[in-house]
């Protein structure tokens, strides 16, 4: 009991700390136009590769653009679109997994074979293939990530629904004459939603890394739009002379991903939710 209390207190501190960090990051995401000291895409070759100063707190890049402003605006893409990918993938997975688990039979077989087909390929390879078909661009990357990620949620929700539909209260609802839709809405969905906090925090980190990886490869965000992965790609030519052009956006990616993962671990310990 004492050990459990210590774990809960420790996880509570981690949850509070990570929540504060993420709140600040999302605040920056929303108010970046008012926080950024300069225009993130304004080119001024006369000011290229300047060291940190009052006008440019983190210096400038090879085109004279404010590094701090580009990092702040980059948060809008990394965090904003990662959230969009998570919500969209989760919605599709919730619908497919709930239908497959509750209906069973041939419906379950067809939907799960579809999931198996997607999961048979490595994530990155499949995403690269889809982006190659759809063409480079942020919208295409988002579509590709959603098409790949939903299958994991679908399988998780299916397993949870298979377990839930054998419970006595589900049988009682069937006997009382409740429709399938009512049972799913009132008894199934509310019981599969609690693990979302854990799943969401863990998957957000992966979504951010995937977006950054695609942009680094030149398949995601296109210049001059600021994005952390694209900034690392642009700064790699100056790794010897101005390594900070890669270090700053790399640190931001690390900070966000580690924060989401720590929050997910703490939530899983706090609420007893197992990671997949």
The contacts of residue 47 (CB under 8 Å, 6+ apart) are: 56, 60, 64
Closest among 248, 269, 274 to 74, alpha carbons compared: 248
Low-confidence spans in the chain with pLDDT less than 50:
1-7, 9, 276
The contacts of residue 135 (CB under 8 Å, 6+ apart) are: none
Rounded CA gap, 204 and 141, in Å? 15
Return the bridge partners of 66, or none.
60
Closest among 84, 79, 65, 85 to 225, alpha carbons compared: 65
**CB of 201 closer than 8 Å to CB of 261:** yes
What DSSP line would sit under 117-144, residue for residue?
HHHTS-HHHHHHHHHHHH-SSHHHHHHH
Longest CA pairwise span in the chain (Å): 78
Q: What are phi and psi of 176, to 5 degrees?
A: -75, -5
Would you state the torsion angle of the CA atoms of residues 211, 217, 219, 220, taken in this order, to the nearest 10 degrees?
30
**CB of 98 closer than 8 Å to CB of 192:** yes
pTM: 0.84
Q: How far is CA 181 from CA 1, 173, 176, 185, 187, in A?
A: 41, 11, 14, 6, 10
Each residue's pLDDT tens digit, 12-39: 788 889 889 999 999 988 899 899 999 9
pLDDT on residue 249 = 94
What DSSP line would sit under 253-275, residue for residue?
HHHHHHHHHHHHHHHHHHHTPPP
pLDDT on residue 273 = 57
């Amino acid at each position: 009991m004492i050990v459990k209390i210590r774990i809960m207190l420790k996880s509570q501190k981690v949850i509070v700390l990570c929540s504060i960090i993420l709140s600040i990051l999302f605040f920056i995401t929303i108010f970046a136009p008012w926080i950024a000291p300069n225009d993130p895409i304004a080119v001024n070759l006369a000011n290229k590769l300047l060291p940190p100063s009052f006008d440019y707190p983190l210096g400038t890049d090879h085109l004279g653009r404010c590094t701090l402003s580009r990092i702040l605006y980059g948060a809008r893409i990394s965090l904003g679109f990662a959230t969009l990918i998570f919500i969209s993938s989760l919605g599709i997975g919730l619908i497919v997994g709930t239908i497959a688990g509750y209906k069973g039979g041939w419906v379950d077989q067809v939907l799960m074979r579809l999931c198996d087909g997607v999961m048979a390929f490595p994530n990155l390879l499949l995403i690269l293939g889809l982006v190659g078909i759809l063409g480079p661009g942020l919208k295409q990357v988002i579509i590709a990530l959603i098409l790949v990620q939903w299958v994991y949620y679908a399988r998780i929700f299916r397993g949870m629904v298979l377990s839930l539909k054998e419970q006595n209260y589900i049988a009682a609802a069937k006997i009382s004459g409740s429709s399938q839709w009512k049972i799913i809405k009132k008894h199934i969905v509310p019981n599969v939603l609690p693990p979302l906090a854990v799943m969401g925090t863990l998957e957000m980190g992966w979504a951010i890394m995937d977006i950054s990886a695609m942009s680094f490869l030149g398949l995601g965000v296109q210049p001059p739009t600021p994005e952390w992965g694209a900034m690392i790609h642009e700064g790699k030519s100056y790794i010897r002379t101005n390594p900070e052009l890669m270090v700053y956006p790399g640190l931001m990616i690390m900070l966000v991903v580690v924060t989401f993962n720590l929050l997910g671990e703490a939530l899983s310990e706090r609420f007893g939710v197992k990671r997949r």
